[in-house]
Amino acid sequence: MRFGTALLGFLLVTIPSSHATEGVILLHGLARTEKSMRAMADALRGAGYTVLNVDYPSRSATVTDLSESVIGQALANPTLAGVKRIHFVTHSMGGILVRSYLTRHEIKNLGRVVMLGPPNQGSEVVDHLGDLSLFSAINGPAGRELGTAVDSLPNRLGPVGFELGVIAGDRSINWINSLMIDGPDDGKVSVVRTRVEGMKDHLVLHVTHPYLMENEQVIAQALHFLREGRFARN
């Protein structure tokens, strides 16, 4: 039996039903939809969490504007009415939306946050391709903000002040992008650039960027962090 399946099964059995009083907001990445987060949503519901899997037009606006509208509306959603704590699980740019929102707002019942493949220090792919018209057409205003320059949006957000666990991938199925990236990467973001000051835990798994949120090991580890505040090391 694979580690991911075994650990996921263990977590689904042992997480108490009291987690139904805790909510999880899921935020997909750039140019994706809520469909990409459905496996994660199913696992979280199976573990007893109240889940809001948000679909949003990731290519329509800047990171700041998206974070205001998307997270603000999610927090006001009746699905989460009455939950004691609200966690986040995000993929890629979804994590930057959370960081952006929390620089301007306090969520009093904020729980833990798990980010999957976040460009917390930007991506060299944006450095190389961000000025191309095709890149802009595919990725929109937010995509162009995710470079690695000191003054890029991710790098201006500063350290995090919440319980954060980051899962990075070190397998790429996009060798063209990987040629632009220094060090181990997932085809979009280097492992080192997923890190951010203030995070509580960081884990590297041999998974590629587009499928992080569907991978059994990743899902199991996300569940573990929400419950324990750390990733499982054995």
Domain ranges (residues) in the chain = 21-227
What is the DSSP secondary-structure string of 115-179?
EES--TT--HHHHHHTTSHHHHHHHHHHHHT---STTSHHHHS----SEEEEEEE---S-HHHHT
Two tokens, residue 34? 């809520």
CA distance 188 to 179: 11
CA distance 77 to 96: 21
CB 125 within 8 A of CB 63: no
**What residue has token string 């990743």?**
218
The yes-or-no verdict on residue 7 having pLDDT over 60 is no
Q: Quote the crossing angle between the two packed helices 216-228 and 3-14, to the nearest 10°.
A: 40
pLDDT digits (tens, 9 = 90+) for 21-70: 899 999 999 999 999 999 999 999 999 999 999 999 999 999 999 999 99
CATH of 21-227, one of 2.160.10.10, 3.30.210.10, 3.40.50.1820, 2.40.110.10: 3.40.50.1820
The yes-or-no verdict on residue 15 having pLDDT over 60 is no
Regarding pTM above 0.85, the answer is: yes
CB 26 within 8 A of CB 90: yes
pLDDT digits (tens, 9 = 90+) for 130-178: 888 888 888 999 999 999 999 999 999 999 999 999 999 999 999 999 9
CB 155 within 8 A of CB 195: no
56, 61, 91, 119, 142 from 145: Cα distances, Å: 18, 11, 17, 11, 5
Residue 234: the pLDDT is 72
